[in-house]
Structure 1
C-alpha cells in the first residue's frame, strides 16, 4: 500500500515504514532468505523450536519503539514460499498511543505458497485513551496451503478514569489459489461503546480476539474443540465455518489482554496439532 492511499496529511504526520520477511525451504529447513526491518521493526533470528518438525521456523517480530504513535503507517509483507513452514509471532503486546488528529495505520500482506504452512499470531494491541487505528490484512493462499491468523485487542486508561480509545477499524481479506476472494471480514468499533456497564461486550469483558484457521476441514481442529479449549483458559469463545470452505473462524472475549494472549497461543497449538500432526513447543516470551 502506498502513502497516496491514505487521507491527506495522515501518513505525513508519523513514520511510514515497511518490513519484509521471506521464508523458503532448503536443506530440510525453512530459512529466512530476505529480511528488511527498518525502525521501529526488529526481528530475531529464526528458531527451530520443534523436534518433530525442525523445518518449521519461528521468528519473533519486535518493536524497537514504545509502540504505535500519531500518524504512523506500518506495513509488513510476509511471504512463505512453496513447501516452507514459518511461524511469525510478537514478543509482547503493542501499545497504541493517543493518535490525536492523525490516526495510525497498520497493513499486513501475507502470502503462503503451494503446500506451505504459515502462521501469524500476535499478542494483543493495547489501545490507550484517544488511540485510533486502522488495520488491514490481506492473505493469499497457494494450492494446498495451510495458514493461521490470530490476534487480539485490549484497552487501558493509565489514569484510571475509564477514558476510551477513539476507534479501531479492521479488515481481513483471504484469497484462494486462483485469486478469488474467499473471506472478507470487516469491523469498526468505538472505544466509548466498550466502557462501563453498557459495554457491547458485556460486564467484565475488557478484551477481545479473533482468529482464522485456513485449510481443508479434515486438516483443522473442530469448532467444538476450539471452543472448549478456549473456555478452559478463560476466554468466552465461538467458532464456526468460514465462507467458501476456507476454514474456521473464531471470536473470543475475555476479562483482559493476558487471557486473550493465552487464547491466541491455544488456537496456534490446536491448529498446528491438526494441520501438521504434532504438539508444538511453547513459544516463550
Structure 2
C-alpha cells in the first residue's frame, strides 16, 4: 500500500531538511521552516485537503528523523471523522522512526468524532537509545454525538526497540459516550518516548499534574505515568471540550518537548 505521507528528516549543515518528501491526496505539506526557538529544528505542517476522514478510509503515514535531525510535524486544525449508520471503519496508521542522534515532535490535529463515526488509529514508534520522540494522540467527541449515535474509537500505540522487541503497547478504546454528569468530552495522551527519562519526568510530574484545573465548565485533568521497559512516559489529559484540550496539550508539550527534555537531562548532576 502506498503511503499518503512518507517523510525523512535529516540534519544537514546545522539545520534540519527533508531528504525524502512524498505525499498524495488527501495529505499536503508545505516547506520546512526553522523553529523560532531552536533554529536547527525544522517545522512542517501537514494538511488534510479533504478536512475529514470518511468511512472506509485507510491513510498510512511514515516519518523518519535521522543523522542529527530535529523535526516538528504538526497538523493544521482539527480533522473531522465522518460517519454513516452501518458505515465502515476508518483507519489511520503511522510509522515513526527516530535514530539515536535525532528528535521528533509529532503534534497531529485532534480527530473529532461525529455521529456514527467508527475510527481506529495505530501508531508504531521506534526510537533508538539516545533519540527522543514526543507524539500527541487526541480525540474530541462532537457535541451532536450521543450514546445511541456512537460508533467506536480505538487507538493503539506500539513502541518497539530497534531490534523489533516490543517494549510497550498502549491501547485506548471507547464504545459509548461518558455517562457521568459533566464528564470530559476531549481526551489526549502525550507520549514521551526514549530511554533514560525516569529522573527527568519524575521531577516534572508535579508541575505537569498541576495543570489540572476545575473552574466552572472549563475542566482539565492531567495524570502522568511511566511506560514499561524504560520505553518512556505518558501524560494523560481529559478536558471539558476541544478548545480546553488544545490549550492543555500545548502546555504539556512546552514542558516535555524533545529539546526541553534533552536539555534538562543534560543538566542533571551525575552521581
Task: Tell me, yes or no, whether TM beats 0.5.
Answer: yes
Q: How many angstroms does 1:245 deviate by?
A: 1.6
Matching residue of 1:222? 204
Q: How many angstroms does 1:203 deviate by?
A: 2.3
Output the CA distance in 2 between the equivalents of 1:105 and 1:94: 13
Output the CA distance in 1 between the equivalents of 2:69 and 2:231: 20
Given candidates 40, 46, 52, the residue that maps to 1:67 is 52
**8 Å Cα contact 2:3/2:62 also seen in 1:** no
Structure 2: gaps of 5 or more residues: 265-271
**8 Å Cα contact 1:121/1:264 also seen in 2:** no
RMSD: 2.2
Matching residue of 1:7? none
Structure whose residues are more often strand by fraction? 2
Given candidates 180, 183, 186, the residue that maps to 1:207 is 186
Given candidates 187, 192, 202, the residue that maps to 2:172 is 187
Matching residue of 2:268? none
State how 1:99-248 maps to structure 2 within 5 Å: 99=84, 100-158=86-144, 164-190=149-175, 192-194=176-178, 198-199=179-180, 203-215=182-194, 216-217=196-197, 218-220=199-201, 222-231=204-213, 234-248=219-233
Output the CA distance in 2 between the equivalents of 1:139 and 1:69: 25
Q: How many angstroms does 1:50 deviate by?
A: 2.6
Q: How many angstroms does 1:72 deviate by?
A: 0.5
**8 Å Cα contact 2:186/2:241 also seen in 1:** yes
Output the CA distance in 2 between the equivalents of 1:112 and 1:264: 22
Q: Deviations over 1:226-284 (max 9, x none)?
A: 21135499520110111112221111111001111122212211113632439xxxxxx
For the residue of structure 2 that corresponds to 1:229, the secondary structure is coil
**8 Å Cα contact 1:82/1:112 also seen in 2:** no
**8 Å Cα contact 1:155/1:165 also seen in 2:** no
Output the CA distance in 2 between the equivalents of 1:230 and 1:79: 33
Matching residue of 2:69? 84
In the superposition, relative to structure 1, how do residues 115 and 17 fare at CA in structure 2: closer, same or farther (>3 Å)?
Answer: closer
State how 1:47-58 maps to structure 2 within 5 Å: 47-51=33-37, 53-58=38-43
- Using structure 2 for the length normalisation, give the TM-score: 0.87
- Using structure 1 for the length normalisation, give the TM-score: 0.83
Q: Deviations over 1:116-147 (max 9, x none)?
A: 10111123111000000110000011131111
Output the CA distance in 1 between the equivalents of 2:138 and 2:146: 23
Counting matched residue pairs gives 256
